[in-house]
């Protein structure tokens, strides 16, 4: 994504996913596109921002912790998580934060 996500007034939640990729695509980009489209259909999804250089950072925004749990448990997302562990990421970390303030231009 190349835009900054518009979100409602805080509080809301951010899921911060940082990763190091393995070599090659091996279906990664197609799955990433599919997961974005699926996430956008999930109740409580507010937006996403993503960048990749040596380390990839994707921040997805959610209305509440329940919405995050529902997304994590989505069957298609579970499959993508497993493929990520098996072939797309050499390392990764997921962090969940409550956003208390949101300001900028």
* CATH class of the domain at 12-99: alpha beta
Q: What residue ranges do the domains of the chain occupy?
A: 12-99
Q: CA triplet 58, 8, 64: central angle to 5 degrees?
A: 65
Average pLDDT over residues 78-87: 94
Q: What is the pLDDT of residue 8?
A: 84
Q: 0.85 cut: is pTM over it? A: yes
Average pLDDT over residues 71-87: 95
pLDDT cut 90: percent of the chain above it: 82
Is 20 a residue whose pLDDT tops 80?
yes
């Amino acid at each position: 994504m190349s835009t900054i996500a518009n979100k409602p007034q805080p509080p809301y939640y951010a899921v911060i996913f940082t990763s190091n990729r393995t070599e090659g695509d091996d279906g990664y980009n197609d799955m990433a596109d599919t997961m974005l489209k699926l996430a956008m259909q999930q109740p409580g999804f507010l937006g996403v921002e993503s960048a990749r250089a040596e380390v990839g950072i994707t921040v997805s925004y959610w209305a509440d912790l329940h919405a995050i749990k529902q997304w994590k448990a989505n069957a298609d997302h579970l499959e993508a998580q497993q493929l990520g562990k098996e072939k797309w990421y050499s390392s990764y970390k997921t962090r969940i934060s409550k956003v208390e303030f949101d300001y900028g231009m």
